[in-house]
Structure 1
Amino acid sequence: MLHSSFIYVLPFIFSALIFFLTKWIFPSSIIRKHLPPSPMKLPILGNLHQIGLYPHRSLHSLAQRYGPFMLLHFGRKPFLIISSAAAAREIMKTHDLIFSNRPKSSIGDRLLYGCKDVAAAPYAFRRKYSGGESGRKFKKMLGELTELLGGFNVGDFIPWLSWVNLFNGVDAKVEKVAKEFDEFLDEVVEEHLRESGSYLSEGEKDFVDVLLEIQRDKTDGFSIDRVGIKALILDIFAGGTDTTYTVLEWAMTELLRKPGVMKVLQNEVRGIVNGKEIIKKEDLDKMHYLKAVLKETLRLHPPIPLLVPRESTKDVKIKNYDISAGTTVITNAWAIGRDPNIWDKPEEFRPERFLNNSIDFKGHDFELIPFGAGRRGCPGVLFAMSTNEIVLANLVNKFDWSLPFGARVEDLDMTECTGLTIHRKVPLLAVATPTSC
């Protein structure tokens, strides 16, 4: 009789046990979470194995299967991948404050002075650092810096595999680049300190002079140490040079591939300049096709295709998806620029699409966000684009351009390099013929 009763009671005991496990071991907050779509992950690696040499392309391919809100795991760390203008708006506008943090990076911490830098890009260091042997060395250092910052450091995602960088050379390269940049920036600071005794006027002071003045006078109670000054200078060198010439290189590449577009641009610029030696701001304001060419270049070739990552500071629900605090967010500006739901024939270089189109790159239109948007958008965007406009206008005004050695435009190598900023893998070679303008 007892045995028979136990058989009937057993299902109730089992149900009670399941309830207990569900209630106490697996909290209801976890069970009820509605997470974004996610591809299957491997133990330990998560989804790291699905990221190839060109992460912006790999993530774009995955997003085409799993959608514009996609959850990946690199090691144990969750990453929310954003691949549409609507999704970017949620992160950079609707929930901008929640996603205003930056995730930690061990390589960035070592290269960027403990991540004391900010995103800023004004110029005037009093002298140029681009000429001669020192200029070639600086360019090489800058290339190595962006390559390291744009790489995937396995130790950030799987801490117990950090030792790998001791054997693959990454740690040694990081230390070498950090040391070279530190010595270079020390010399920049020392040079300004030596000249500070000459009592420069306000109009003669440059960015470094102002920083040193703040350090000396503790302006408005704000203090900054030498490490902070070097971090800010590094931001300006990296943000104000590397991304700018990347845009110009891709713009000239596309113009050489499209001689008809080049001709339209030259006619506009030469017609407005009309033989003047110097192109002024009021001239640039009239060059609508020039601005369209640069917008189209930024759409197809954003210099930083995966915008600098953000990190959520608290739990939040977006589009019915639950996003946990501490989730890293990567916005694929490259994918958004190629979204066929936004752009007609997105793979074609067609500046005309922007002539009767109000979409701009200043952070208000999420269809075109090469500089990001919101609180963590690039504050140097106006400087960068002013530089691009004046340089490109002068290049097409004063020279006719062609490929060397009779090369055909069809044979122009469009392969990208790897790293934080996406340059051409093969440097662009072109023949400049001076005009009589």
Structure 2
Amino acid sequence: MQFILILFLALPIILILYFKTQNPKHAKQELPPPGPPRLPFIGNMHQFDGRSPHTYLHRLSKQYGAVMSLKLGFRRLVVISSAEAVKEVMKSHDAVFSSRPALAALRRLSYDGLDFAFSPYTETSKEMKKISTVHLFNTKQVQTFLPIMRDEASKMVEKIARDASSSAATDLSETIMSFAANTVARIVLGKSYGNFFHLLHDAEAVLGDLFMEDFLPWLRWIDNLSGMAAKLDKIFQDMDTFCEEVIEEHMNPNRPKSMEGDIIDVMLRMKRDGSASFDITLDHIKALLVGIIIGGGDGTATALEWALTALMKKPLSMKKVQAEIRQLAGKKEMIDEEDIEKLPYLRAVVKETLRLFPPGPLLLPRETIKKCSINGYEIEGGTMVYINAWAIARDPTTWENADEFLPERFLAAEIDVRGQNPMVIPFGFGRRGCPGIGMGMSAIELALANVLHKFEWELPHGMKEEDIDFDSEPGFGLHKKNALRLVAKVVM
């Protein structure tokens, strides 16, 4: 009787132990990624450094791991900082990581989800991405843009030569941005526009702002009080008005001949003949324009500026790439796209620049559409995700001498930078990869080849090599903080 009583009292403990040992699902239950301690309501917002978020999050990842979590107000945030984790996303979960969070700036610039770049992943955005890849930026279409790139590169060279004739230092930051903006404007809009540069600059700046409504909705009044909400609305209205004017000009029978075959012309033709899988509206065209304009001009200018900065810091690399170009070109006035194919060291310089200085260090934020597992951690659906492309490309476990500018590493091995290799992803990857990669790479390589071919470069009087800085502006982009000023000497 006493034994039965003891057994009865011990039965609950026996059952608990039994089910704990017999339930493998429970035993293997995955935990969320680790992260820094957080405060009630605001989470980690008090710790978040918006001045240089990619370097701040990189430092945190060293403490909490390559897949870590934070809480920004009510939003869950996961930061991925390793090629191994990106490879897992690429291989098994690209669709899960394909959406965008409904952040104020992204939402406003996306025309309520009609685009492929900024909006959540819907059937519409999926079809818009397909149009961009198949019709707008396929290899054949990019070939038709090459004369524009050559012409704008020639104008840039002429501008630098004028500065050189007076021994004046060239503000290369401004000159390069003018080249990039004019190139994109002519390819997308059919001609250059005077206010295009300012619209581009304003739109890029607002994408890096943090809005209270995105993280603490009950404090959205702060956005109104600070003027940030009004600023965002004005930028959208200015961009919308600009797009309408450009589209109307394209629909005018007396439009400039340069508009034939540009991006808007292709989209309007698809709208008329119904060749798309859905009914294209003018808002679809506007949304596509905004995505291309912001992504295209900025990435090209940023890469060129950092490439020249890095080469000035590494004179041996500068001599090597110039010798390669001049040996091939001889007395040829301009390098063209056919020459680029025969310049492996130049192309390695571009790849190494994109590795060390990706234009969007955290890429654009993604959002998971359902629960999944990465590196053994459970990530909930609806989680905002930053992929730290800057940290991944400087990981010393992946790259030898990770922080050093060494183009030779891309000669020793064929390493893809267009979204296929998780070690270096300056253009993103998968469903959210940039569809204009081919156009962007062509513009960067062509412009860099010609400014290196035509000129010898020197530092302004009184400046030494150690004075060359790699400081970047605050925010989510990777723009040089201080303008790059160099003295050009024409090669005779």
Indicate the residue corresponding to 2:239 in structure 1.
181
Distance 1:369 1:246, change over 3 A: same
- SS of the aligned residue for 1:144 comes to helix
1:12-411 correspondence runs (5 A): 32-52=29-49, 53-119=51-117, 122=137, 124-125=187-188, 127-129=190-192, 134=194, 137-195=195-253, 204-220=260-276, 222-411=278-467
Percent of aligned pairs with the same amino acid: 43
Q: Which amino acid aligns with 2:348?
A: A
Q: Which amino acid aligns with 2:300?
A: T
* Structure with larger RCO (C-alpha < 8 A, sep 6+): 2
**Deviation larger for 230-239 or 260-269:** 230-239
C-alpha contact 1:41 1:73 (8 A) present in aligned 2: yes
Distance 1:126 1:68, change over 3 A: closer
Cα deviation digits, residues 251-286 of structure 1 (max 9, x gap): 011111122211111000111112223323331111
Counterparts of 2:464 and 2:255, CA distance in 1: 57
C-alpha contact 2:302 2:359 (8 A) present in aligned 1: yes
Q: Which amino acid aligns with 2:359?
A: P
Cα deviation digits, residues 122-142 of structure 1 (max 9, x gap): 552464325xxx2xx432322
Q: Which amino acid aligns with 1:374?
A: G
Counterparts of 1:435 and 1:144, CA distance in 2: 37
Distance 1:196 1:311, change over 3 A: farther
Cα deviation digits, residues 135-193 of structure 1 (max 9, x gap): xx432322221121122222111111111101222112112211221221112111101
Counterparts of 2:70 and 2:272, CA distance in 1: 47
- SS of the aligned residue for 1:317 comes to strand
Q: Which amino acid aligns with 2:198?
A: K
**Deviation larger for 189-198 or 413-422:** 189-198
Q: Which amino acid aligns with 2:207?
A: L
Aligned residues: 407
C-alpha contact 2:78 2:383 (8 A) present in aligned 1: yes
Cα deviation digits, residues 32-90 of structure 1 (max 9, x gap): 55111111011111112222111101100000001101011111211111000001111
- Superposition TM-score, scaled by structure 2 size: 0.78
Counterparts of 1:346 and 1:178, CA distance in 2: 40
C-alpha contact 1:68 1:87 (8 A) present in aligned 2: yes
C-alpha contact 2:352 2:406 (8 A) present in aligned 1: yes
5+ long unaligned stretches in structure 1: 1-10, 20-27
Distance 1:174 1:249, change over 3 A: same
Q: Which amino acid aligns with 2:192?
A: Y
Cα deviation digits, residues 271-310 of structure 1 (max 9, x gap): 1112223323331111111111111111111000001122
Counterparts of 1:235 and 1:319, CA distance in 2: 32
- SS of the aligned residue for 2:408 comes to helix
Q: Which amino acid aligns with 2:233?
A: E
C-alpha contact 2:366 2:385 (8 A) present in aligned 1: yes
Q: Which amino acid aligns with 2:249?
A: E
C-alpha contact 1:148 1:420 (8 A) present in aligned 2: no
Q: CA RMSD in A?
A: 2.5
Counterparts of 1:300 and 1:127, CA distance in 2: 33
Counterparts of 1:125 and 1:308, CA distance in 2: 22
Distance 1:393 1:293, change over 3 A: same
Distance 1:44 1:197, change over 3 A: same
Counterparts of 1:375 and 1:127, CA distance in 2: 28
C-alpha contact 1:100 1:376 (8 A) present in aligned 2: yes
Counterparts of 1:332 and 1:383, CA distance in 2: 24
C-alpha contact 1:165 1:171 (8 A) present in aligned 2: yes
Q: Which amino acid aligns with 1:129?
A: S
Q: Structure 1 residue 220: deviation in Å?
A: 4.8
Counterparts of 2:271 and 2:288, CA distance in 1: 13
Q: Structure 1 residue 221: deviation in Å?
A: 5.2
- Superposition TM-score, scaled by structure 1 size: 0.87
Indicate the residue corresponding to 1:5 in structure 2.
none
Distance 1:271 1:226, change over 3 A: same
C-alpha contact 2:53 2:475 (8 A) present in aligned 1: no
- SS of the aligned residue for 1:78 comes to strand
Q: Structure 1 residue 209: deviation in Å?
A: 1.1
5+ long unaligned stretches in structure 2: 1-8, 17-24, 118-131, 138-183
